[in-house]
Amino acid sequence: MGLKSNLHNFRQKNKDKKWLPAFSAIHTFLFLPNETTHNGTHIKAADDLKRTMNTVIMAMVPCLIFGMFNAGYQHHLAFGEIQQATGGFFSSAFWTMDNFMVGFWKVLPLVIVSYGVGLAIEILFAIKNSHEVEEGYLVTGMLVPLIVPIDTPLWMLAVAVAFGVVIGKEVFGGTGMNILNPALTIRAFLFFAYPTWMSGDKVWVQGAVERDQMIAAGENLDAISGETILGSLAQNKGAGYEVMDMFYGLIPGSVGETSTVLILLAGLFLIFTKIGSWRIMLSSVIGALVMGLIFNGVVSSGWISETSKFYGLMSTEFWHHLLIGGFAFGTVFMATDPVTASQTNKGKWIYGFLIGFISIMIRVFNPAYPEGVMLAILLMNVFAPTIDHYVVQGNVKRRMKRLKVKTA
């Protein structure tokens, strides 16, 4: 009670100070929200926005740690310093401190820049507008380092984060008011502003550029290319990896989106805690499988030749699309964003199905950027209010018809 009383007196004395929102943000992060409802509510619960955000972060931590190990593992493979791990997820060659330290020192700066720039902008807007700092960026700040290539320059990430927070969220009014997922807005800015840093075979493996320079200088390295499965399939080269490697995540890719097994467990955790929508997750998977089956049918019918630039991804087993690229990560952590997703139950089914369907369509027909989940989610973010509108209007019309029948 003494601490609470002192904090109350402190706020009263400094209520006109511009820096008070920044102080309140730190206090709220460490303790409880500044204001809680004690009576007059329909529903009482122990959770709040901070706890919700922290729960999502907890679900992402295993992906973050695995990404650090995988970053080091892919680095050593690229330089031919180790052999491909046998035993998959349980391989002792993967879970080594050497792999972890290489990844740790590459991923940690990405996390620091993401949170540092994003929270600084949030605090500046809170001070300017004299309102509390909201906890919405806690999740976005963790998502951003997990969806970018390991060798993304820090200055580039800082520019993208500033753009995403200001244009993707603050201009709409802050947390809860944005129509686009901020993390995907940041990723989209990086892709369109700096496309050479977001694709190819040099950005997914730490030190790949230096490796190629060594090879060009005449050094004999028994190394892997560092190309992602999607990039390889887009060039009709085949996947090049075993299915279980795809499932476990021992493949090149963005920091946190390679391990399907960990993402699946995170999705189950979010469903259990009632934070993630199982309807959106399930319908996204169904949409992706349907589109994959359609493409497999086109290949089986002979309508497309093996020399076509679309053949590699079209002929990929329909269910393999769930294991490669960022589809699983986007479905679990970003398609289910409660602010930008559909709010009605029927709308969630439509919204999720279209995300999965369009993701695979973009993946196949855009070989220059063979990953469609980012663009599909952003597109459906825009249409989510429209979907909900027609779902609600349809329900209203059905109720009106039943009312007419009863009164007739």
Tell me the pLDDT tens digit for each residue of 192-216: 898 888 876 667 777 666 655 555 5
Does residue 36 lie within any of the structural domains? no
Residue 403, in any domain of the structure: no
Domain assignment of residue 306, yes or no: yes
Return the structure tokens found at 328. Answer: 């699983």
CB 190 within 8 A of CB 42: no
How many domains does the chain fold into? 1
Report yes or no: 142 and 186 within 8 Å, Cβ to Cβ. no
Instruction: Evaluate whether residue 372 is within a structural domain.
Output: yes
Report pLDDT for 44. 57
- pLDDT above 70: percentage of residues in the chain: 79
Contacts of residues 86-90 at CB distance under 8 Å and 24 or more positions apart, as own/partner, are 88/244, 88/245, 88/248, 88/250, 89/248, 89/249, 89/250, 89/261
Q: Could you give the angle at which helices 97-129 and 137-146 cross, rounded to 10 degrees?
A: 140
- Considering the domain boundaries, does residue 33 fall inside one? no
17 in a structural domain: no
Evaluate whether residue 155 is within a structural domain: yes
Q: Tens digit of pLDDT for each residue in 67-101?
A: 999 999 988 887 777 777 777 778 888 899 999 99
pLDDT-derived band of residue 1, with 50, 70 and 90 as boundaries?
A: very low
Residue 210 belongs to domain spanning: 49-393
Q: 316-355: per-residue pLDDT in tens?
A: 899 999 999 899 999 999 999 988 999 999 999 999 999 9
In a domain, 28, yes or no: no
**What's the whole-model pTM score?**
0.86
